[in-house]
Amino acid sequence: MMQGNDSRRYVVIGGGLAGLASAVWLAEAGKQVTLLERRARLGGRTQAMRVGEVDDLADNGQHVVASGYSNLFRYLKSVGTDHYLHYPHCGTLRWPGGRAVIMHTKGLRALPTLMGAHPDASPGERLRAARATMRLGWQALFQPADLADLSTDQWLRRVGMPAKAREALWDWLALGIAAEPVERGSAKVFADVMATGLRGGMKKRRGSTIGYPTVDLDTLYITGAQRVFEERGVDVRHRAVARRILLEDGRVKGVLLADGSEIAADAVVCAVPNSSVRGLLDDLPEHAEIYAAADKLGHTPIVSTNLYLDRPLSTKAAMEAIIGGRGVIDEVFDRQRMHLRPPNGTWLYCLTTSGAYEQIHRSNDEIIAEQMDLIRRYYPEAVEAKLVHAHVVKMPRATFSQVVGTAGLRPEQRTSVPGLVLAGDWTRTDWSATMESAAQSAAKAVDLLLELPPKY
C-alpha cells in the first residue's frame, strides 16, 4: 500500500478525532502508520458508552454538527459514515411551564430565527434585533481592533442586541460555540466562528445550519476508521502512553513510551489535548512557548445526563433549548427522534450543560435530582414520570477554555522541526473547540507531512 518509495515511518499520538483523521488520511496517502492511544479504546472525547442497567448505548455527551464542518465530513466520507448525519428543519425553544416555540433552522424560514425572533418580541424589538444582527455579522467579518478584549456579553451589548433576541438565540448559540457563559466567553472566538460560517455560506450560497448524528458516536467515528486501518495495515496500539517525542539534529527519531520502550519514527503527528501535551515536546526548541499556551488555554467543564424515563416527553423537535434554566442554558436531546430509538420500556433524554462550573463539583445524585427538577419545570409529563435509570458523564476537561484573553494563543500545526506537527482541537484553526477544529487541524497537519521533500 506504500506510495512511491516512501519508506518513512509515521507515528500518530492520540486516538481522538484529530489522531483518527490524521491516521486515516496518512494511510489513504499510502503511508506506513502507527497510531498510539493511551487508553484501551479509540475515540477520545467522542465515544459511546454502554449503559448496562437499561441495555443501551449512550454517548459521553450529545455532539451536534454545523453544516460548515467540511473537514469532519471529509473524515466521515473516508470512513464511510457520512450518511449518518441529519439536518432537521427546526429546533425548539422551551420555557418553564411547557411553552414551546419552533424555530426553523433551514432555508428562508430560518431568517426570523437568525434575527433572534422571540415569540413575544414587538415589531420595534424585531427591527432592533435585525439591525443588531447585521452589525454583528459585519463586525464578525471586519473585526474591530478591541474585539479580543471583549466578552461576548459586552459585544452583544455594544451592537445593541435586544434582551429578547439574546434569550431566543444569541446567548445560547454563543454558549454552544465557546462552551462558556457569555460573560466569560471571548467575543473574538464567537466572531471568528461566525465569520467562518458566513464566508462558507457565501461561498456555497447556502445558510449554515445545525445537525446531529443518527447513530452512536462509536458507529459514527470509530467502526469505519477501524475498517480503514485494517485494510491499509495501520498498526493501532492501545494503552500506549507516549512520554516524549525524540528529536536528533532537527529530525524526528522516535517516540519514547511510558513503559520505557521506543518506537522508531521519521514523522510524528502529536494529536493530544492541551492538557496532555506537557513533556511530549521537551526536545522541541519552542516547547516552553507551546506549554505556556496550553496551560493558559486551560479547560472548561461539560456535564451530560442521560435520563431514562418510563414515558415520553412531549418534545416538538429532536433538539430543544431550555431557556432560563439556572442562568446557564441547557439543551434537551430526544434520542427517540434522533436515532429512531425504539423505547423498549424507557425513553432516553440527554441533557447537556456547557460551562458547568458549579455542576461539575456536585455528586451524581445531586445532578440527577437537579436535572429531573429541571425537566419537571419544562415538560408537564415529566411531573408524573418515573426515572428508570440515570447516567451522568462529568467531563471536567471537556474542551479548552475560550474565555477573554485566549484568542491568539493557539499554536500552529507547523513546528520548527518539519517532521513534527501538532494536531488537536486546541491548535490553530478557524473553528472553536469542536470536532471540526480537530478534523481541520488533522487536515493541516497531514498536508504539512505530505509536503515533506523525499530526502528529508
Name which of residues 24 to 53 contact ligand FAD (CB under 6 A): 36-39, 44-46
How many angstroms separate the CA atoms of 173 and 158, rounded?
Answer: 17
In sequence order, the 6+-apart residues with CB closer than 8 A to the CB of 113 are 103, 104, 105, 169
Decide whether 121 or 318 has the Cβ nearer to ligand FAD.
318
Q: How far is CA 290 from CA 248, 279, 416, 439, in A?
A: 19, 11, 12, 20
Window 177 to 236, contacts with ligand FAD (CB under 6 A): none
Size of the site for ligand FAD (CB under 6 A): 36
Minimal distance, residue 382 CB to ligand FAD, in Å = 23
Q: Which burial class, exposed, middle or buried, applies to 245 when counting CB atoms under 10 A from its CB (0-12, 13-18, 19+)? A: buried
18/168 with CB nearer ligand FAD: 18
Q: Can you tell me which of 271, 309, 356, 421 binds ligand FAD, judged by CB under 6 A?
A: 271
In the complex, minimum distance from the CB of residue 397 to ligand FAD, in angstroms, rounded to a whole number: 8
Cβ nearer to ligand FAD, comparing 379 with 400: 400
Name the residue nearer to ligand FAD (CB basis): 121 or 268. Answer: 268
Query: Which residue's Cβ lies closest to ligand FAD?
Result: 16
In terms of CB distance, is 321 or 438 closer to ligand FAD? 438
Residue 64 within binding range of ligand FAD, rule CB under 6 A = yes
- In DSSP terms, 315 is beta-bridged to none
* Beta carbon of residue 124, minimum distance to ligand FAD (angstroms, whole number): 35
Residue with smaller CB distance to ligand FAD, 16 or 185: 16
Q: Which is nearer to ligand FAD, 13 or 121 (CB)?
A: 13
Is 329 a binding residue for ligand FAD by CB under 6 A? The answer is no
Residues 363-422 that bind ligand FAD (CB under 6 A): 395, 398-399
Q: Which is nearer to ligand FAD, 37 or 171 (CB)?
A: 37
Q: Which region among 25-33, 270-278, 334-342, 366-374 touches ligand FAD (by CB under 6 A)?
A: 270-278
Which of residues 45 and 166 has its CB atom nearest to ligand FAD in the complex? Answer: 45
User: Near ligand FAD by CB under 6 A, which window of 113-121, 267-275, 311-319, 335-343?
Assistant: 267-275
Q: Which stretch binds ligand FAD (CB under 6 A): 92-100, 124-132, 189-197, 265-273?
A: 265-273
The single residue among 10, 11, 15, 245 that binds ligand FAD, judged by CB under 6 A, is: 15
Q: Residue 242 interacts with ligand FAD (CB under 6 A)?
A: yes
Does 273 participate in binding ligand FAD (rule CB under 6 A)? yes
One residue of 11, 12, 13, 294 binding ligand FAD per CB under 6 A:
13
Q: Are 330 and 320 in contact (CB under 8 A)?
A: no
Q: Minimum Å distance from CB 85 to ligand FAD?
A: 12
Torsion of Cα atoms, 11 then 12 then 15 then 16, to 10°: 180
Question: Is residue 63 part of the contact set for ligand FAD (CB under 6 A)?
Answer: yes
Interacting residue with ligand FAD among 241, 264, 288, 383 (CB under 6 A) = 241
Question: CB of 43: closest distance to ligand FAD in angstroms?
Answer: 7
Q: Which is nearer to ligand FAD, 385 or 403 (CB)?
A: 403
| HEC-encoded secondary structure of the chain | CCCCCCCCEEEEECCCHHHHHHHHHHHHCCCEEEEECCCCCCCCCCCEEEEHHHCEEEECCCCCEECCCHHHHHHHHHHCCHHHEECCCEEEEECCCCCEEEEECCCCCHHHHHCCCCCCCCHHHHHHHHHHHHHHHHHHHCCCCCHHHCEHHHHHHHCCCCHHHHHHHHHHHHHHHHCCCCCCEEHHHHHHHHHHHHHHHHHHCCCCCEEEECCCHHHHHHHHHHHHHHHHCCEEECCCCEEEEEEECCEEEEEEECCCCEEECCEEEECCCHHHCCCCCCCCCCHHHHHHHHHHHCCEEEEEEEEEECCCCCCCCCEEEECCCCCCCEEEEEHHHHHCCCCCCCEEEEEEEECCCCHHHCCHHHHHHHHHHHHHHHCHHHHCCCEEEEEEEEEEEEECCCECCCCCCCCCCECCCCCEEECCCCCCCCCCCCHHHHHHHHHHHHHHHHCCCCCC
Choose, by CB under 6 A, the member of 12, 17, 420, 422 that binds ligand FAD. 17
Q: Which residues bind ligand FAD (CB under 6 A)?
A: 13-19, 36-39, 44-46, 60-61, 63-64, 241-242, 271-273, 276, 302, 304, 395, 398-399, 424-425, 433-436, 438
